[in-house]
């Protein structure tokens, strides 16, 4: 595989890099790892944020439905020049925190899923694994990690929202890493280094977050969340979902994310 084929694979599995001919960086990203904020920042920098949000309040609708569908976007003929002159960067997130967000997403989807999208395949396998003879009644965080441990966590196997962040195609780019936990400080450094626009606070704030609803304490690694909980809360606090077993499962499932992105395991 070379860098051209790497981009083709990333496009196929819905991790198309964010690129613009007049922007010095090529942005790599993963769902549930600050991708909304990263996309908003990118479109602000190239002067399209207002247009994107006018098109749809979700930046991802414009990103996937308009921007990525431009004629010749990252096409084979242009790529050598693109790759030679752009600095690859990737926004990454603490795997423990991201696993919780991914869990809430798939737990909700299994209650309310729509057919013919990527996550539906995961829903079907989860139902077969935990409810082979009955209707879906929810999954716990521990069951979610068991599912990924069994089927694998590569983005070519499961939906990107629950897959590990790392993909082997990154090896052809060696991206600079920006950690979500320190995003605002690090992105200001990027803006200064590359003489980019200074982004306002509202651009760097994501509207998508489970955090305000996460106030349920106790031990919740085996808790089955209901649909009303997933919509309105309360959701389990982050630490309440981790016991010795879920820590070890997370370490195993997301081993590559810990290793490649320099996050310390518990």
Q: Give burial (CB, 10 Å; 0-12/13-18/19+) of 160.
A: buried
For 93, 236, 244, the CA distances from 222, given in Å and listed in that order, are 24, 11, 12
The predicted-structure confidence for 2-11, as pLDDT tens digits, reads as follows 777 888 899 9
The predicted-structure confidence for 235-259, as pLDDT tens digits, reads as follows 999 999 999 999 999 999 999 999 9
| pLDDT of residue 208 exceeding 90 | no
The predicted-structure confidence for 155-198, as pLDDT tens digits, reads as follows 999 999 999 999 999 998 899 999 999 999 999 999 999 999 99
Nearest of 249, 98, 97 to residue 162 by alpha carbon: 98
Please work out, in degrees rounded to the nearest 5, the angle formed at the alpha carbon of residue 190 by the alpha carbons of 202 and 41.
30
| Tally of helices (H runs) and strands (E runs) in the chain | 12, 5
Q: DSSP secondary-structure letter at 202?
A: G
Tell me the pTM: 0.94
| Residue 77's pLDDT band (cuts 50, 70, 90) | low
Q: Are 125 and 132 in contact (CB under 8 A)?
A: no
């Amino acid at each position: 595989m070379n860098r051209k084929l790497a981009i083709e694979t990333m496009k196929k599995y819905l991790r198309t890099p964010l690129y613009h001919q007049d922007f010095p960086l090529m942005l790599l990203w993963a769902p549930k790892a600050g991708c909304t904020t990263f996309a908003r920042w990118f479109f602000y920098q190239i002067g399209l944020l207002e247009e994107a949000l006018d098109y749809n309040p979700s930046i991802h609708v414009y990103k996937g439905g308009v921007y990525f569908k431009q004629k010749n976007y990252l096409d084979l003929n242009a790529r050598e020049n693109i790759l030679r002159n752009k600095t690859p960067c990737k926004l990454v997130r603490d795997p423990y925190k991201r696993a919780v967000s991914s869990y809430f997403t798939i737990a909700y989807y299994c209650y309310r899923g729509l057919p013919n999208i990527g996550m539906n395949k995961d829903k079907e396998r989860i139902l077969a694994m935990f409810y082979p003879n009955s209707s879906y009644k929810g999954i716990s965080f521990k069951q979610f990690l068991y599912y990924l441990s069994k089927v694998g966590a590569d983005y070519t196997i499961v939906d990107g929202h629950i897959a590990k962040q790392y993909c082997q195609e990154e090896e052809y780019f060696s991206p600079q890493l920006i950690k979500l936990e320190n995003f605002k400080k690090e992105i200001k450094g990027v803006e200064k280094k590359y003489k980019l626009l200074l982004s306002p606070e509202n651009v760097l704030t994501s509207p998508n977050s489970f955090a305000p609803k996460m106030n349920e304490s106790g031990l919740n690694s085996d808790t089955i969340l209901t649909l009303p909980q997933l919509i309105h809360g309360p959701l389990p606090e982050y630490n309440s979902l981790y016991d010795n077993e879920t820590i070890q499962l997370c370490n195993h499932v997301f081993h590559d994310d810990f290793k490649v992105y320099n996050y310390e395991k518990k």
